[in-house]
Structures are given as structure tokens and as C-alpha cells.
Structure 1
Amino acid sequence: MQIVDLSHYQFVRVSGADAIAFLQGQVSCNMQLLSSRRSLSGALCNLKGRVIADFRVLLRGEDCLLQTAPELAQLIVDTLAKYAVFSKVELQVLEKLPLILGCSGTDAAGLLAEKFGEVPAQDDGVTESAAISIIKISGVVDRFELWCPDEEKSGNLQSDPDMTVNAPWSSWLYEDICAGLVHIDAAHAGQYTPQLLNYDLSGVIDFKKGCYTGQEVVARMYYRGSPKKRTYLLRSATEIASASGVLQHIDGKQKPAELLAFANGIAEENPHSLLLTILDTQAVDRNALFTLSDQADLALQLLPLAYGEQTQIGT
């Protein structure tokens, strides 16, 4: 089992009598489905239907904890605060929890069950053990996140030799990309529509839940027809440099594509590098050639996304 330190994430605590009802009117996931046994993935959008931040929300007691990328927690609080005047809610940035670990591998479920008892079987499922929340994360292999807000319990877990961090953050990123999961960072907040990031396919958008900020634009873009661009998963046989870009070769011309995230292969089990890239759907339909900008002689392979076309919620 691989164990990764995920302490770089930030958190927002939304508390108060109106916490769930307030968030229901602001975010893309159906907060009425949130429970002690189920977490949710969602997005916070602006009035133009652009994604400010994506997050995972967990119910801890009566509080909602939103996990998000570094530097986005304060932006989430500032955005939500504009609409919180008439709701009984409190918004607070938590720079990090005392401990958050990512556990993955074909043996992860069994090993965690031996140590903690019950573990969730379904994606987004949650179980609790000694103040530790165990969350099932979608992926090609079994993945779980362990959230521990308690300082004492965190110390006990960190001193457990069976739970020692043994893999780099890049291995968790590799599995995120393999699962087709796109996470917004501070540099790209407010730039993309959910549809462009496949949030309408991966379960981040619930089309049945009703109104939320930006919902009208999001729904209109989804129902008006096929998008001209989407996020696709590509594989490279060579290592990707931080300065690399992606080119689409169409009708003898080169057109740049936007590279959202990449992770180079790790060890023998994952020798290939993976990329999440925004491509023209027409180029994909026409089986265009895709290459790295600095390795134009080597073709990138288009891979199927784990969620395909089957996980839309409420359509």
C-alpha cells in the first residue's frame, strides 16, 4: 500500500444552523445528499459559470469541511461571505488538518480494514474510526483519504509504523490524472467552465439539485449541444518537462492545446507519463495527431477516461 502525505491541502469550515442549506444555494453538488456516510465532490462557480474552486466536502458533526487546493481556501471564504449575510453560518479558513494521508493500491482496502475496521466500499463513501474519517476516492486503483482533525489521534497515527509515508505526492497526482480528475489551482480560478473540465461527466455537477450561483450558465452550456473543447487524457512514452506544451496537428497545421496537469511515470508499475489536456473535440473525432511541443516527432496516445460518458448526475 502506498501512503502519501496530503498536508498541502487547505480547508474551509462552514458551521452554523444554516450551513448545509446555505451551501446548497452556492455550490454545484447536492448538499442534501451529504451525510456522515457520504462525502461529495463539488465546485464553487462565479456568476458567469466559471469555476472558482473545486473541493471535497465532508460532514464532521454539524460542520461542513471543504478540502481544496493550496491558496484557494481564503478565496472560497471571500466568495461565500458575499452571500452569507442573511444565513446563520460561520466561515473559517483552516490552513491544514493535523493529519491527512492518501492510501492507494490493490491491497489498500484490506490493510486499512485490518487496522481500522470497516472501510467504505463505494466512491465518496465515509467511515469513522477513532476520530479518523476514511473516505473512498475514485480512481483506477483503490484509493482512500484519511482525515484526522484531532491532534492527539494524529500523533498516534503518525507514530504507527504501518502508516509511515512511503510515496511522494507525485504518485497521488499520477492517480488523480489517471482517473481524469482535474483540480483548479489559484492561478486558474475563474477561468474554466465546469463542462470544459468534464465536471458534468465526473459527478461534480448535479443537474437535479436546483439553483446555485452560476447554475443557469452551467446548465445552458450543457444542454445547448456538443462542446467544442473538452479535457482528455493522453499518455507519453517519454518524460514531460515543466515547460512542455501540447500540439494538435490538424490539416497540416499545428494548433496549441492547453496542458492542465501532468505526472511523469513512477517506477516500473507506471512507466508512462500522463497528461490532462484541453483538446478540440473535432480534432479528437478526426483522429488528429497530438504531440508534445518539444518532442513533435513522438505521438501522444489518447486514453479513455475512467468516467466516460456515464456518470452525469441528474441528466
Structure 2
Amino acid sequence: MKTVDLFAGCGGMSLGFMQAGFDVVAAVDNWRPAINTYQQNFIHPIYDLDLAQISAAVSLIKSYAPELVIGGPPCQDFSSAGKRDESLGRADLTLDFAKIILAIQPAWVIMENVERARLSKIHQQACAMLHDGGYSLAQIVLDASLCGVPQLRKRTFVIGHRHGSIADFVNVLQQQLAKQPLTVRDYFGDSLGTNYYYRHPRTYARRAIFSVDEPSPTIRGVNRPIPKTYQMHPNDAGDVALARPLTTKERSLIQTFPFDFKFVGTKSEQEQMIGNAVPVNLAFFLATNLRAYLNQPRIQQLSLLPSFF
């Protein structure tokens, strides 16, 4: 299935879908450091374009005639790590994403965002636009730690199809979830050489020392050393003297990027693009199950129905 990735970042969604057998033919982003990294790792083109320029975006994407468009509009206005203020303007790109989809009319669309985005008015408005435009929608919150990623990271996915109901796809995904979260040790074995690590908290009311025998907390775009004045939190998993911060490479591996994936830019730029990315294995989980779902006879028959069904 020909696929275009919008708001592609450094390529977590693209890589996961490609590993599942989808033909990603192009990508779009508007942050040069992430684009530079994407270009180091993929053969197909990525375009530097502000997707708020809807007519230009539609013209570009239409030229690839995609059957599937995937994308994660910026989440800062929805995220618990951000200001949680939809009026700041960045959330409007979610509406722009929906407008682009309605203008291009791919058979399938997948929109990704943070867990709490589903509660926002703009997210709900975008879903209503897609529904009114003829898309049957399925929405699910996936915990990456149950999808092959050693990280507690919950993300909302909206899957849309133009040719019939896909409400049962949520059940398919739920049935394929792991029974237990994947821990850091499950994924790395003992290769990290430590049992505890430091993850800088948003506030010191939260713990900062984690064990490799649990899933990592959400990888964010900030990675700092342990402050010399750090005071132990009662919920810390171990003594701060036994912990160390994770390296940039280790954080990318927790996001399930391959070891040979090339990140370029300053350290802070690399940390930010890693924190912003969709974990590769989470995208692979979704894509693999979508591909299996597409191969069911019922879906093959639905695809032959006229677009107004």
C-alpha cells in the first residue's frame, strides 16, 4: 500500500510501517534537524513544508497518489508535558491534517497523538470532519509497553477507512496486545550495565530513579545529568548513587530505533527528535495488524465498494 507520512519527524512511524511491508513513498516535516536525520536513513524523499499551507501540501501529496496517509500532528498543546492550551495555535495543525486528508481522499488514514488529545475539542472536531467526509473511524489508546516497546508510553490512534465500517479493528488490536508490559531488562538483557537509571522529572514531586526491571517512563525530549543536589524521592527504585542517566543512543534504543539508525544535529536536537518520535515497534505493531486486517476477505470486498458507501 503506497503510504505518505506527514509530520514525519525523524521517521519512527515511517520505519515501523516499512518494516511491516508498507511502501512509504514520501514524507513531510517542517523541522530541519529532523529532516536531516530522516534523509540519513531513508531513500524516499522527505519534503520541508509547513502543512498549514494546505493547497501546497495537497498538491504535493496528491502527486504520489497514496492509498494510506499516516501522521502525528504536533502534540504540545495537548501533552501533559506542555501547556495543555489548545488556543496556542499548534493544535490547529490537527485540523489541517484532516483538511488535507479530505482533499486527497486516500482509502486509509491514521492519525497519532498523545493519550489526552482524544479529550480535546480540536481532536474531536478533526474526527468529526473525517467522519462527515465519509470515513469510518476506529479510535484506540495503545500503551507502547504492550506493543513491543520497553516504555510506558500511551498514544491515541485514529484509523479511518473510506469504504466501510472498521469498528472491529479495535478488537483486533486489543486481542494482540501483550499480557505483560515489556521491561527495559526484557529488551536489553544486562547490556546496559546498570540496574538503575535517572530520568529527569518535570517536577521533583515525582521520582527520578527507575529500575531496568520495569518499563521505562515516557522518553521525553529532555535528557539531563543527575543534579548534585538531588534529594531522593520516596518512590525512587534505588539509590541515586547506583544510577546514571541514559545516553542519547540508549534513549533512541528504548524508542526501538535500530542500533544503526543515524541521528544528526546537536545533542539537544537529537534528544528532542527522539522524544518526539513514535516508537518504531509501536508503529510496527499497528501496521502489522492493519496489514493482517486488510488481508481478511471482508476487507477485500469492502474495498471494491463505491466511495460513497
TM-score (norm 2): 0.30
